[in-house]
Amino acid sequence: MTRSSAREIAVHIIFTLGFDTRSAQEILETELTQERFQELAEELPLYEQFPNEKQERYIRDLVQGVFAHGAELDDYISRYSVGWSFARIPRMAAAVMRTAMYEVLYMPDIPNASAINAAVEIAKKYEPAEVVSFLNGILGTFVRTEFEDTPPKPEKQPPKEEA
């Protein structure tokens, strides 16, 4: 499983949070099981492979982080969604934006551009082009505005070879 697949699974679970009264931990306990993946794999190839320990930790961190910071993330979305009320934003698009914003704000090992690019790619699978464009605009403006006075997170560089 790739990080992008793990991220998309996290987005699915984050999307579920919007319809459920259970905590993130309770939802993770039912969704992140071999049995649940086997059920979902029948309809969604994304679930054909169960995450390894590192990927599972990443999914859990994202879901729990978005759950814990939901009000803050939704405030950012509302602030930057010029011309759209929060209620008008499709729930999957909101889940994708929450995920990307959480990565930008709280996961320093993930470059901002990678978080945005991944969000756009996930959104393309679930939303029409105008929503994807809207989401891309919000995330780009969010990063440019919120981080204008701070240097960008460094991209991971491969180790230099000794001559």
Q: Name residues of the chain where pLDDT drops below 50.
A: 156-163
How high is the mean pLDDT of the chain?
89
Domain extents in the chain: 1-60, 69-152
Report the C-alpha gap between 86 and 109 in whole angstroms: 29
**Burial class of residue 111 in the structure, from the number of CB atoms within 10 Å of its CB (0-12 exposed, 13-18 middle, 19+ buried):** middle
The pLDDT, as a whole number, for residue 7 is 96
pLDDT at 85: 76
Contact 131, 137 (CB under 8 A): no
pLDDT at 159: 47
What one-letter code names the amino acid at 91? R
What's the pLDDT at 150? 53
Residue 161 is predicted with a pLDDT of 46
The predicted pLDDT at position 141 comes to 94
Which fold would CATH assign to domain 69-152?
N-utilizing Substance Protein B Homolog; Chain A (1.10.940)
pTM of this structure: 0.86
Residue 119: predicted pLDDT:
97
Residue 64: name the closest of 98, 92, 88, 40 by CA.
98
Q: What is the pLDDT of residue 149?
A: 55
The answer to whether residues 97 and 119 touch, using CB atoms and an 8 Å cutoff, is yes
Q: What is the pLDDT of residue 20?
A: 85
